[in-house]
Amino acid sequence: MSATRSTTSFSEERDVVPAVEAIDLWRHLGDGGTGTQVLNGLSLTVQAGEWVSIMGPSGCGKTTLIHALGGLEGIDAGSISIGGCDLGDASERERARLRRTEIAYVFQQYNLLSDLTALENVMLPLRLAGRSRRGARREAHVMLQRLGLEKRADAVPARLSGGEQQRVAIARALAIEPVVLLADEPTGALDAAASGHVLDLLRDQHRAGQTIVMVTHDHRVAAAADRIVMMRDGRLVEEHHLRAVHPMDLPGLVRLEAER
Ligand SMILES: Nc1ncnc2c1ncn2[C@@H]1O[C@H](COP(=O)(O)OP(=O)(O)OP(=O)(O)O)[C@@H](O)[C@H]1O
Ligand SMILES: [Mg+2]
């Protein structure tokens, strides 16, 4: 793997438990003959507090990887640890706890519950994480406000635009203050203004110590991360530590790598 190494590399933090450690992941989907080998011996370590963007062509396995990292999708071989807890060794109870309180997803297809309002969708993980009804309502309101959706709080998803649904999904994911945020194209349905707004929010979260693993096709969004990894055919083929790159060189560099 070639890399533009950062002078402020994360190697100094080697003694700290990584937020995500995926080692040699293999995953085949579909029927044997006609199926696809979606993950091909992929390894990825994300340090606590690090923000990693994953880029790569459609169908290379990004969504499968993001789902696998949080235990939503099985793997055929390999190991995944979240904050030092090996998902393969963990009891069902421990895995459920991780999913409720430490890992949050922003799904590519939003996955909002259609019968619940925007507010209720954001309240749900807070309730599952043990907040009182009143506390969950208050926190959910704050999150919707941060995403500019306070006026849409009582609308069900069918009455929201794609971009509004995406922002509700982001509010829902961030509400529980997860250890790791796994986001699949979190700005895919947003226009430039809304996308900039979400990026600012993610920057704030990141500054507060949030670990973020984010799939994106958008070069500007990808460039907000500490590191970009390039995925192809179910494995990581390249990485760039962005802190080592002069900002003036960034758009060209990222575009070049994404188009290869
Ligand atoms: N249930 C399934 N059965 C068979 N093949 C599948 C299944 N789910 C996904 N695939 C295939 O696995 C490959 C990787 O899919 P994945 O959704 O992870 O790609 P992606 O990189 O997220 O693509 P995109 O950028 O379009 O979202 C694709 O070729 C897809 O068709
Ligand atoms: Mg995808």
Confirm if 63 and 215 have CB atoms less than 8 A apart. Answer: yes
Strand partners, 235: 232
| Residues 59, 89: Cα–Cα separation, whole Å | 29
- Report the distance separating Cα 59 and Cα 192, nearest Å: 25
Q: Give the range with max mean pLDDT: 17-31, 82-96, 190-204.
A: 17-31
Nearest to 26 by CA among 57, 65, 54: 65
Task: Assign 243 a pLDDT band (cuts: 50, 70, 90).
Answer: low
- Secondary structure of residue 176 in the 3-state scheme: coil
Question: What band does 257 get if pLDDT is binned at 50, 70 and 90?
Answer: very low
Q: Give the residue-averaged pLDDT of 143-167.
A: 94
Choice among 39-53, 80-94, 131-145 with the minimum mean pLDDT:
80-94
- Order across the sheet with 36-46: list the strands: 36-46, 20-29, 77-82, 85-86
Measure 44 CA to ligand 2 centroid, in angstroms: 17
User: Could you tell me the domains of the chain?
Assistant: 2-99+222-259 (3.40.50.300)
User: What one-character-per-residue DSSP string does 189-200 give?
Assistant: T--HHHHHHHHH
Ligand 1 atom nearest to CA at 234? 14
Smallest CA-to-CA distance from 176 within 136, 228, 227 is with 136
Neighbours of ion ligand 2 (CB under 5 A): 62-63, 108
Of all ligands present, the nearest one to the C-alpha of 33 is 1
**How large a percentage of the chain has pLDDT more than 70?**
87
Indicate whether 62 pLDDT > 60: yes
Distance in Å, CA 57 to ligand 2 centroid: 9
Residues in contact with ligand 1 (CB, 6 Å cut-off): 29-30, 35-36, 38, 58-64, 108
Per-residue pLDDT, 252: 52
- Which pLDDT belongs to residue 118? 98
Cβ atoms of 250 and 241 closer than 8 Å:
no
